[in-house]
Amino acid sequence: MRAAVFLDRDETLNRADSLPPPPPPANPGDVTSPALVELLPGVADACARLHRAGFLLVVCSNQGSVARGAIDLRTVEAVNDRIRSLLPADLLDAFYVCPFHPRGHVKALTAEHPWRKPGPGMIEAAAAELSIDTAGSWAVGDKQRDRDSAIAAGIDPSRALWIGPDRPIVDLAAAADVILKASSAGAVQGTTVRLRATSGAPLAEARNRATVIAAAGAIAERTGIGLLSIHADDESVTVTLDTDRIAAIGFLAELRRSTNAWYAGRISGGTLWGEDPAPE
């Protein structure tokens, strides 16, 4: 199960309300042609950053103008394709569109529908079809109904972001900042362990500290253990690893062994680390 960011389309990804008003029966804000598609500033970068962080990107869009007879579904698809084509390949995982509207002119589509935001239907359908972990997901839109739809679908209200120039989160780029900051804060905290140097203070020498840091990097690369941070001062080296404590102690034992071997070769009989093998 992967988490997603459910994205509204018009005025979240692309301009809509600020386009020149289309001829009736279309309403202002309807995107009636792929030629009118223009991404909002920062959208491509925001989508790329969210994608890199592992989120599925799922667009959910009310297109009541189809029920009103202003455009047909083929035009909606063409607009969606144009949005895709303006973004790096495969950034958007899926589009969901609701063509229904209770006050339409196309008889078959003139109805209320569970997919129509603020209903939860599009997000629920996407979650089922794409195996999305709704609890870990977010939503971003420029209207209250986008937020209400997400909450109705089970997304935590704190993760249903309502963007707009007059709102605290002004656009998708700012929303991506919020999402990515929260995601990294919720990531693995890591395990911190420390090796203490011998009383001879070998770590006071910059070359020795640099060698220990380089050795830790090499062990991390070889083992696939994530080295989240490393700090060496005159007395000790402290590493934070993305593992449990047992693996962290094994990492430290290997760091101790390999750097002691290097140091003993450099200074005959020398040792970098203190007697106590138990790391802190």
Helix and strand counts by DSSP (H, E) for the chain? 8, 8
- Scanning 5-13, 51-59, 102-110, 195-203 for contacts with Mg ion by CB under 5 A, the matching segment is 5-13
CB of 207 to Mg ion, least distance (A): 59
**How many of the chain's residues bind Mg ion (CB under 5 A)?**
4
Rounded CA-CA distance 14/125 in Å is 23
172 versus 225: smaller Cβ distance to Mg ion: 172
3-state secondary structure of 72: coil
Cα 123 to chain centroid, rounded: 18
10 versus 124: smaller Cβ distance to Mg ion: 10
Q: Is 158 exposed, middle or buried (0-12, 13-18, 19+ CB in 10 A)?
A: exposed
Active site (annotated) includes residue 171: no
CB of 9 to Mg ion, least distance (A): 6
Cα 77 to chain centroid, rounded: 26
| Whole-angstrom Cα Rg for the chain | 27
**Residues in contact with Mg ion, shown as a per-residue x/- string from 73 to 112 under the rule CB under 5 A:** ----------------------------------------
10 versus 148: smaller Cβ distance to Mg ion: 10
Q: Is 171 in the site for Mg ion (CB under 5 A)?
A: no
CB of 143 to Mg ion, least distance (A): 5
Active-site position among 10, 30, 148, 171 = 10
Phi, psi (deg, nearest 5) at residue 209: -60, -45
Q: Is 8 in the site for Mg ion (CB under 5 A)?
A: yes
Active site (annotated) includes residue 8: yes
Residue in the block written with tokens 């839109």: 141
| List 70, 91, 127, 142, residue binding Mg ion (CB under 5 A) | 142
Q: Is 30 in the site for Mg ion (CB under 5 A)?
A: no
> Which residues lie below 8 Å from residue 145, measured CB to CB, with a gap of 6+?
62, 117, 118
Residues that bind Mg ion (CB under 5 A): 8, 10-11, 142
